[in-house]
């Protein structure tokens, strides 16, 4: 298992160009979405929402809004990861519903609501709800990309895009949800370049 995971970590790279002749099977794409769904999130709020785009015309409209990157139109499945915003506000129906799913006595759930409300109010007043929730979308994205690599499927995370213009094109209401990240999935046309990473000694400290 450890070997399979490390192999996938090495296999995954930010694929710049996909083979337009190869489409990801629906069952495999479902598995990739499932890796996202099963990801951890703060307070279990699952703030991610996935928009899967296969339509070439829509990909063509998105490409100029994504720095004209070729991954957008050559990939098999383009996944836009939106992050919910307003539903995370303190006291919201959504947060109540999500916290209430646990099998706990009512007074414990009430106490949990209070802790969540304080926490979310602090986020709202400091970094903002989108900043907080989008970080969790990145965890889902990472799991989806590594999981895809385990199945021999390539990906590219994409942050190079014009957020407001894409939200307008797809009629995403930023009061409710915002675009966090785009991930393109497909199959490479050429071998991945050698991995470049800092050595562990430079990034790890023990105390």
Ligand X SMILES: Cc1cc2nc3c(=O)[nH]c(=O)nc-3n(C[C@H](O)[C@H](O)[C@H](O)COP(=O)(O)O)c2cc1C
CA–CA dist 63, 66 (Å, integer): 5
Cα(186)–Cα(13) distance, integer angstroms: 12
| The only residue of 8, 11, 14, 54 in contact with ligand X, by rule CB under 6 A | 14
Looking at residue 143, the DSSP 8-state letter turns out to be: H
The shares of helix, strand and coil residues in the chain, as percent rounded to the nearest 5, are: 50, 15, 35
Per CB under 6 A, the segment of 73-81, 96-104, 119-127, 157-165 that binds ligand X is 157-165
* Region of 2-10, 11-19, 37-45, 109-117 interacting with ligand X (CB under 6 A): 11-19
Give the residue nearest to ligand X (CB).
Answer: 160
Q: Establish if 13 lies at the interface with ligand X (CB under 6 A).
A: yes
Q: How many residues bind ligand X (CB under 6 A)?
A: 10
- Name residues contacting ligand X, limited to 26-55 (CB under 6 A): none
Helix axes 2-11, 129-150, angle to 10 degrees: 110
Copy the structure tokens of residue 204. Answer: 């790890």
Beta carbon of residue 184, minimum distance to ligand X (angstroms, whole number): 9
Binding site for ligand X (CB under 6 A): 13-14, 16, 69, 156-160, 195
């Amino acid at each position: 298992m450890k070997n399979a995971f490390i192999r996938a970590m090495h296999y995954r790279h930010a694929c710049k160009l996909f083979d337009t002749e190869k489409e990801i099977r629906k069952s495999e794409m479902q598995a990739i979405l499932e890796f996202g769904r099963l990801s951890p999130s703060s307070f279990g709020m699952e703030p991610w929402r996935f928009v899967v785009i296969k339509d070439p015309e829509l990909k063509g409209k998105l490409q100029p809004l994504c720095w004209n990157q070729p991954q957008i139109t050559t990939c098999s499945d383009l996944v836009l990861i939106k992050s919910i915003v307003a539903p995370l506000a303190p006291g919201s129906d959504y947060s109540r519903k999500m916290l209430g799913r646990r099998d706990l006595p009512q007074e414990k759930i009430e106490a949990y609501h209070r802790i969540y409300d304080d926490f979310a109010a602090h986020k709202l007043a400091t970094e903002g709800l989108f900043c907080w929730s989008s970080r969790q979308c990145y965890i889902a994205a990472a799991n989806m990309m590594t999981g895809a690599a385990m199945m021999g499927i390539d990906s590219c995370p994409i942050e190079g895009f014009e957020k407001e213009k894409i939200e307008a094109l797809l009629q995403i209401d930023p009061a409710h949800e915002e675009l966090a990240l785009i991930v393109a999935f497909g199959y490479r046309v050429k071998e991945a370049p050698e991995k470049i990473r800092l050595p562990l000694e430079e990034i790890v400290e023990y105390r």
